[in-house]
Amino acid sequence: MTLCLFFCLALSVLAQKRSRIFGTLRDESGNPIELATVQVKGQGVLTVSNLKGEYSLYCTSRDTVQVVYSMIGYESRKRLLHNPGDSVRMDVMLPTHEGMLGEAVVKAMNIQTGTTQRIKPVDTNLMPSTTGNGVEEIIATQAGVSTHNELSSQYNVRGGSFDENCVYLNGVEVYRPMLVRSGQQEGLSIINPDMVESIGFSSGGFEARYGDRMSSVLDITYKRPEALEASAAINLLGAGAYVGWGNSKVSLMTSVRYKTTRYLMGTMDTGGEYKPNFLDYQAYVSWRPTRRWTIDVLGNISDNHYNFYPKDRETRFGTMNDAKSFKVYFDGQEKDHFRTLFGSLTATHNFNADTYLALQMSAFTSKEQETYDIQGEYWLNEATGQDQLGVGTYMEHARNYLKAGVVNTGLRFRTRLEHHTLQAGFNWQNESIHENSREWEMRDSMGYSLPHAPNELKLIYSQRSKADLRTNRFELFAQDTWRFKNNLGLFNLTYGARLSHWSWNKEVLFSPRASIGWLPSFCDGLTFRFATGVYYQSPFYKEIKDTTIVAGISTVALNKEIKSQRSIHFVLGGDYTFRMMRRPFKFTAEAYYKHLSNLIPYTINNVRVVYYGQNLSRGYATGIDFKLYGEFVPGTDSWLTFSIMSTKEKYKGQWMPRPTDQRYNLSLYFTDYFPGTERWSFTLKAALADGLPFGPPHTDRLQHRFRAPAYKRVDLGMSYKLIANEDGHLRRFGKFIKTAWIGLDAFNILGIKNVNSYYWVTDITNTQYAVPNYLTGRQINVRLNFKF
């Protein structure tokens, strides 16, 4: 019996003959190509070429074996072998890719030697999304990034505020509306996931070519279609359509998106009639009149309306032994309108495959209005008894209007000289902002107005702001990326500097930056990197508003003595790529320290950041981020991130947590297919983030020493492929459809009540209670997606 088993095993081994495929990869000049991916299609076997361009792998010999050679910046090549023998040598030349990179599926992990990670665009139409802004929701799951509001696409990075994140679209910086105070008012971001080709993201230590922000950079590049493509999507939260077409001369894309969160906001404590309507239209044209010239034009129109007619609210809060009930009856309405226009023109002259000069021009305008008159009568009671703790009335009024315009003109130059890549640029930017705002709040408790005065009626809060601002900025940058190798391995050194001037405060800023990446020769799977630099948060309109509050009355003046906030970054990290269960994985760890000075203190209410308008503090941010990325399930990408962070500032002689002091954060993005079929898709998003510091509104930062509960949320999405026509086998009407998916999402599937902000109530003993404003509850969404 044992002998029979031995012969059976031997025959099985001999039946699956192994073949060794090896060789060298070179470019058109005969130089070796390192870090290129060599993959045997259909067998899950791959490797990466070494510093000499050499590769070697083993595969199972079959009738036909297809080997795929690929590398970013080069054209891919395929080789077909028929019954390969024990050893086959294949030397391959990869031509330089002279056009933009198209979509490619490569099972190897990206090698990150710089501080910008390349994030693979995922099909966000199959992902549970509450905002409709799929790219930002993917960014919020990355290491060091967090969000505390599922209605908002804004995110915090390593202790920074929303305003410290820089976003580029096709090389042009984009802006957001400035009066938005809640996630309910937010519309669709300018980034349309259907049009995205590549996503670059840096959470610190980024290059000199990126602008003056202290926390992060999100760099989005739109694709250039080469054939007709289209998609359409509809769900209970909105709809959208996209069409793209192209040939060797022209590429164009156009899209329209509609979003409404009325259905989702029906799960909130405040009942009433919600009428949010958000519309976004985009068009992108790329024209190549000659082999040397490329003209790119991008236009965007965003029209967002938020109307709200509140009726009543009941919130229960506290502990089991000290439960409270807060009941409010409303009268009034809120009407908000945010309209933004954005356009950009880029003319690029390619001197050769390695050198280009580009002229960039862009314009952004925003017309914003926020108006409301809401009166509420409230009762604060013991939830388990009839004791009445407080009864009163409040009225909130606002007439806030703002117009903003930003015009930018710049030059970009890039060339490659052997092992160096040189980049330089110049920007001139004109800013024009006009604001006319007035808002106040009256509060009456137990028949007495607050704050109480025996001889006059006072408002608990009042602010008047009227300003006109016209300024110019000048920016200049230069950087070099030097790639070299020696016996220790491959090194990637990037160094450069930015120089900027702002006409408002006559400030001149010099920002040197450098980073180095090392791929050691003793281990192909390891990558180390270190980055440092001086980063400035150049003030925009909100930062220079010097708001002084005396007895609840706010006065606003524009501070001409304001200075840019400064952050010195030190980032040390590394990656380890490995294979587990015959699938690729990558583990990343990064530790960082940011020394902060000239800080402008601020408070956060929902998503509105209100600055003090003066450089009053200094501080730091430090932490460590971990990320495990890979194919937990074959053919799908998933990741798990965990971060520990602390950020504090010294204000008025006391060290205290900054408003973004999130001590820990855990995020999970997991995708799967049901066993035995790829028609059923499954996506899970989970977040656990520590609560943020807060305090009573319109008070000094020293009183903001409370901490909100942790943000906990799980969203689940399931999709079924109704039509699978990628090979074009369907006829008649079905031949126009490539795929069709129907999906079901469960938002906040655990039904956890997350706190967004607080409403403060005073009882008869002058005791203040922080009544939580809860976010959305559990809700179901149905969606339908088509690709043509």
382 strand-pairing partners: 324
Structure tokens at 712: 């906990």
Element (H, E) at 32: none
**Position 15 confidence tier, pLDDT thresholds 50, 70, 90:** very low
Contact 687, 667 (CB under 8 A): yes
**Position 72 confidence tier, pLDDT thresholds 50, 70, 90:** confident
More confidently predicted of 586 and 86:
586
Structure tokens at 562: 């304001």
Contact 198, 750 (CB under 8 A): no
Contact 549, 516 (CB under 8 A): no
**Position 245 confidence tier, pLDDT thresholds 50, 70, 90:** very high
| CA max distance for the chain | 108
Q: Give the whole-angstrom CA distance, residue 247 versus residue 533.
A: 43
- What per-residue confidence (pLDDT) applies to 97? 59
- What per-residue confidence (pLDDT) applies to 4? 44
Dihedral angle sign, alpha carbons of residues 149, 152, 158, 163: negative
Q: Mean pLDDT in the chain?
A: 87
- What per-residue confidence (pLDDT) applies to 54? 86
% of the chain with per-residue pLDDT over 90: 52
Structure tokens at 713: 């949320």
- What per-residue confidence (pLDDT) applies to 731? 77
Contact 652, 601 (CB under 8 A): no
Q: Give the whole-angstrom CA distance, residue 749 versus residue 781.
A: 11
- Burial, 8: exposed, middle or buried (Cβ in 10 Å; 0-12, 13-18, 19+)? exposed
Contact 157, 216 (CB under 8 A): yes
Dihedral angle sign, alpha carbons of residues 520, 120, 685, 192: positive
pLDDT greater than 80 at residue 493: yes
Contact 500, 474 (CB under 8 A): yes
What mean pLDDT is predicted for residues 208-212?
91
- The pairing of beta strand 18-26 with beta strand 87-89: parallel
Tell me: the pLDDT tens digits for 289-308?
998 999 999 999 999 999 99
Structure tokens at 342: 């954005």
Indicate the range of 11-20, 185-194, 300-309, 398-407 predicted with least confidence: 11-20
More confidently predicted of 770 and 411:
411
Q: Give the whole-angstrom CA distance, residue 467 versus residue 431.
A: 13
Q: Give the whole-angstrom CA distance, residue 670 versus residue 518.
A: 30
CA 740, 256, 197, 345: dihedral to nearest 10 degrees? 160
Contact 161, 602 (CB under 8 A): yes
Contact 55, 34 (CB under 8 A): no
- What per-residue confidence (pLDDT) applies to 648? 96
pLDDT greater than 70 at residue 717: yes
Residue type, 482: W
pLDDT greater than 70 at residue 98: no
Indicate the range of 194-198, 248-252, 452-456, 521-525 predicted with least confidence: 452-456
Least Cα distance to 543 among 487, 488, 502 occurs for 502
Structure tokens at 46: 């791959």
Q: Give the whole-angstrom CA distance, residue 577 versus residue 559.
A: 50
Cα separations (Å) of 590 from 119, 200, 493, 629, 658?
17, 17, 18, 14, 22
What mean pLDDT is predicted for residues 207-222?
92
- Burial, 404: exposed, middle or buried (Cβ in 10 Å; 0-12, 13-18, 19+)? buried
**Position 412 confidence tier, pLDDT thresholds 50, 70, 90:** very high
Helices (H), 293-393: none
Q: Which SS3 state, helix, strand or coil, does residue 164 take? A: helix
**Position 353 confidence tier, pLDDT thresholds 50, 70, 90:** confident
pLDDT greater than 80 at residue 419: yes
The DSSP line for 543-612 is GGEEEEEETTEEEEEE-TT---EEEEEEEEEEEEEEEETTEEEEEEEEEEEEEEEEE--EEEETTEEEE-
Structure tokens at 236: 């209970």
Least Cα distance to 509 among 74, 105, 141, 211 occurs for 211
**Position 447 confidence tier, pLDDT thresholds 50, 70, 90:** low
Please report how many Cα atoms fall inside a 13 Å half-sphere around the Cα of residue 493, on the Cβ side.
8
Please report how many Cα atoms fall inside a 13 Å half-sphere around the Cα of residue 387, on the Cβ side.
10
Tell me: the pLDDT tens digits for 19-62?
888 888 888 777 788 888 898 887 767 888 887 788 888 888 77
Tell me: the pLDDT tens digits for 563-617?
999 999 999 999 999 888 878 899 999 999 999 999 999 988 777 888 889 999 9
More confidently predicted of 11 and 159:
159
pLDDT greater than 70 at residue 143: yes
Cα separations (Å) of 541 from 511, 601, 658?
22, 15, 21
Vertex 213: Cα angle to 207 and 216 (nearest 5): 65
Q: Give the whole-angstrom CA distance, residue 432 versus residue 339.
A: 16
Structure tokens at 86: 């024990």
**Position 110 confidence tier, pLDDT thresholds 50, 70, 90:** low
Helices (H), 70-131: none
36-59: burial string, b at 16+ Cβ within 10 Å, e else = bbbbbbeebbbbbbbbebebebeb
592-629: burial string, b at 16+ Cβ within 10 Å, e else = bebebebbbbbbbbbbbbbbbbbbebbbbbbbbbbbbb
pLDDT greater than 50 at residue 107: no
Cα 747 to chain centroid distance, Å, stands at 20
Contact 196, 121 (CB under 8 A): yes
Vertex 314: Cα angle to 309 and 318 (nearest 5): 140
Residue type, 554: S
Q: Give the whole-angstrom CA distance, residue 428 versus residue 321.
A: 61
Indicate the range of 337-351, 671-685, 752-766 predicted with least confidence: 752-766
- What per-residue confidence (pLDDT) applies to 551? 60
- What per-residue confidence (pLDDT) applies to 357? 95
pLDDT greater than 70 at residue 409: yes
The DSSP line for 723-774 is EE-TT----GGGGG-SEEEEEEEEETTT----EEEEEEEE-TTS-EEEEEEE
Contact 752, 691 (CB under 8 A): no
Q: Which SS3 state, helix, strand or coil, does residue 14 take? A: helix
Least Cα distance to 613 among 555, 679, 530 occurs for 555
